[in-house]
Amino acid sequence: MAPDAWRDAEFMRAALAQAVAARAAGEVPVGAVLVRDERIVAHGANAPIASNDPTAHAEIAALRAGGRALGSYRLADTTLYVTLEPCVMCAAAIVHARVRRLVFGAWDPRAGGAGSLANVFNLPGLNHRVDVFGGVLMEECARLLDEFFAARRG
């Protein structure tokens, strides 16, 4: 495995731990970690149900925590790892935060904003470009979601 692929898998495992925490709280199991200089500077887990906040997605939580940790709303030179392809709202927030790189696990054909439903990252006129990589630990990320929804359907 290439060094970048190994590193991406390790950070995605940290995002998966956040997704497991979200599941334990009764939330859809999506997790995220924000990395700068090879270390996690922030993390987030889905929490819209508990917080009564439709914007409380894992990515938004990680971006907010990253802004606080780094002392800036511009998260230059960071990589965001998330277990599910970001929705359009989260994709736009990632662009506005100036995240350098996005790595996600499972694709989201219903709401994905990185190519499945729409591709926010390729919209013309944006003044920032994000390098996007999907499918890292895709099976593990998808399995966590599949098991969660299968249990809810009973």
- What residues act catalytically? 59
Give kind and range of the element (H or E) at residue 130: none
* Strand 31-36 versus strand 79-84 pairing type: antiparallel
Determine how many CB atoms are found less than 10 A away from the CB of residue 52: 8
* Residues 9/1/140/86 CA torsion (nearest 10 deg): 50
The CA distances from residue 92 to 38, 59, 128, 129, in Å, are: 24, 11, 11, 11
